[in-house]
Amino acid sequence: MKSNEEELISLKELAKKQLESYEFEEAYQTYGRIIEIDPENALAYLMCAKLRETLGDKHGAAKYHKNAKRILNTYIKDNPDNVSNYIRRGASYQDTGDFEHAIDDYSQALLLDPTNLFALYNRATCYKMTKECDKAIDDLSKVIKIEPDHVDAIIERGNLYLSKGGISDDLALKDFNKVIELAPYRISGWQGRALIYINNKEDDLATRDLLTALELKHIPKNSYKNLLKLTISHCKTQYQKYKLLGDTTKILEYLKIISDLEKRVVG
């Protein structure tokens, strides 16, 4: 018969495999078993909370977050120099929309470990949610300085530069070019660069990038739908522009593009 410690190790391995296989309900049950054996396992509560959220049960998730914070409060009181506990409590606050407290915990973690990528990236996300874009950009820049190929940080910084507009568009363009270089399979780089081209009146280049993005594989359904809507709207604007200019070649080109795209909407 396995000891509790041996069973916990086995259950953690099982949960990992279930998450990798997207078996979220099964993983939730496994983490529930871990909690039965180890009722003060804050990480297991956090994982249960995330899985309930993934499964659409926000009320159930809130219960697990409450227990996770209770346990982490005790951990932090007993061991105030443990970085992981601040990060985990910060993540719980972040997941429940309490961004100010999440920022406080990530900041405390960074006082103890100034190069912690998880704390920097997630604090940036919280700053974005509290409309503190410059602070978010600063944290993302620190992440990128430590890990130059951190694609998610580059995407987020590019989006923030794009939202600021003006001369920040040049900085956003550099970030989206880098994303396309590192991860050409991500729609964020192509779509972000297209939006900059639209701002700069480089409309045919925008069309090229939007059409490239639509051909990528494994795009989430909602992302594809929004991208398709944006592309059709942009192409219709270009059609009207070239119609006013009397450019027959471009008129026919955009008519064909619009026709092909609208078939996708029906499909």
Query: Is 118 contained in some domain?
Result: no
Q: What percent of the chain has pLDDT over 70?
A: 99
User: For the chain, how many structural domains are there in total?
Assistant: 1
Extract the tokens encoding 219. 């795009």
Query: Is 102 contained in some domain?
Result: no
pLDDT tens profile 22-73: 999 999 999 999 999 999 999 999 999 999 999 999 999 999 999 999 999 9
How many angstroms from the chain centroid is the CA of residue 153? 9
Q: Please tell me the distance from the alpha carbon of residue 21 to that of residue 14, in angstroms, as a whole number.
A: 11
| Among 66, 71, 101, 106, residue whose Cα is nearest residue 86 | 106
pLDDT tens profile 212-235: 999 999 898 999 999 999 999 999
What is the span of the domain harbouring residue 254? 179-267
Query: Is 253 contained in some domain?
Result: yes
Q: Please tell me the distance from the alpha carbon of residue 59 to that of residue 44, in angstroms, as a whole number.
A: 17
Query: Is 46 contained in some domain?
Result: no
8 A C-beta contact, residue 257 and residue 211: yes
Query: Is 73 contained in some domain?
Result: no
Angle at 79 between CA 74 and CA 85, to 5 degrees: 70
8 A C-beta contact, residue 122 and residue 150: no
Query: Is 195 contained in some domain?
Result: yes
Q: Please tell me the distance from the alpha carbon of residue 259 to that of residue 122, in angstroms, as a whole number.
A: 42
Q: Please tell me the distance from the alpha carbon of residue 40 to that of residue 78, in angstroms, as a whole number.
A: 14
Question: pLDDT band for position 266 (50/70/90)?
Answer: low
Query: Is 234 contained in some domain?
Result: yes
pTM of the prediction?
A: 0.90
8 A C-beta contact, residue 231 and residue 210: yes
Angle at 158 between CA 86 and CA 112, to 5 degrees: 20
Q: Please tell me the distance from the alpha carbon of residue 35 to that of residue 84, in angstroms, as a whole number.
A: 19
Extract the tokens encoding 135. 């602070």
8 A C-beta contact, residue 192 and residue 200: no
8 A C-beta contact, residue 254 and residue 239: yes
8 A C-beta contact, residue 231 and residue 261: yes
- Ranges of beta strands (E only) in 179-225 are none
Residue with tokens 């694609």: 151
Q: Please tell me the distance from the alpha carbon of residue 12 to that of residue 44, in angstroms, as a whole number.
A: 9
Query: Is 217 contained in some domain?
Result: yes
pLDDT tens profile 88-135: 999 999 999 999 999 999 999 999 999 999 999 999 999 999 999 999
